[in-house]
Amino acid sequence: MLDKVAVIGAGSWGTAFSCHLARCGIAVDLWVREKELLKDLRNNRRNSLFLPGVILSESVKFFSNINEIISRNRVIFVAVPTQFIRSVFEAISVDLSGKFFVSLAKGIERETLLLPTEILGDILGDVSLSALSGPSFAREVALGKPTVLVLASNRVDSILFIRDAISNEHLRVYASRDITGVELCGALKNVIAVAAGMCEGLGFGENTRAALIVRGLAEMARLVEAKGGSLRTVYGISGLGDLVLTATSRTSRNFRAGLMFAEGRTVDTLSLGGQVAEGVETARAVVKLTSALGVEMPISSEVYKVIYEGKSPEKSVYDLMTRELKFE
């Protein structure tokens, strides 16, 4: 029985998942980094900065001390953007024995090329690590819209008791042992979503989007397989499912970032209302990772060139369409 947990990070996903946990009858200790947001949440139970219009349950309590919140809980959900996980968790100084950490982050650390649970393992040592991922916009989860996710862990005991505790009629959670595949898919689909936003911004049609999704999926499959993950994962909830969602909707921050790049914005002039488009940083990490593994990922490579080398989106599409013809 899981009656209380910690959620680290009060961004849109941390807030939304706290709403879901409360709906499951689980009390939540929510760690909030931003001082003004902490004040807003304590006074009004609203996250006006990241998820406006959503009121949090009285069963959600708010904390600013990360060591206090972790010491109070056995299960800790990590809703911190990938590039900030290390700086946040290096401040932990409490006993972690018997703790279960579940990552909600999607990305690859740009310096180390580690996935979110790998970053946590690097910092925290031998603790139970899981990853929860899949097609899920934060607002819909907060409002209780039917959603399906996958929980992956190398430890079966972690998967089963956490899965059962957080599943209800609003959120169905499947179990997986392929934590590498699940986390890689969650990272890579964001890069393809940036590309999809670029294509939308350039005025291309549904044909282009369909082609981008299917060839993007092929890139995801190549890298997941090279890293020892399962192709079954790529064609499942955290792979194809999440890719279709983020590559077809303006609700996706990564899709909106792509739109802005098509309009001529640069990485320094993106404006997402304080939100993070993980695909922007992940594109840089993917290029390094594919080079190290000898994996060909032309779409991801072109996204990187647009963001970091100033290549025009139009030229990138032309170069992709005029590559050497091959068998599928």
b/e for 41-59, b at 16 or more Cβ within 10 A? Answer: beeeebbebbbeebebeee
- The answer to whether 99 touches 72, Cβ cutoff 8 Å, is no
| Amino acid identity at 123 | I
- The answer to whether 255 touches 193, Cβ cutoff 8 Å, is yes
* Catalytic center residues: 189
CA nearest to 171, candidates 26, 7, 57: 26
**Between helices 179-201 and 116-124, what is the axis angle to 10°?**
130
CA distances from 318 to 312, 321, 323 (A): 10, 5, 9
Helices and strands (DSSP H and E) totals, the chain: 15, 10
In the chain, the N- to C-terminal Cα span, in Å, equals: 49
- The answer to whether 179 touches 154, Cβ cutoff 8 Å, is yes
Residue 140 phi/psi, 5-degree rounding, is -70, -35
Spatial separation of the C-alpha atoms in residues 265 and 211, rounded to whole Å: 25
Structure tokens at 312: 């025009």
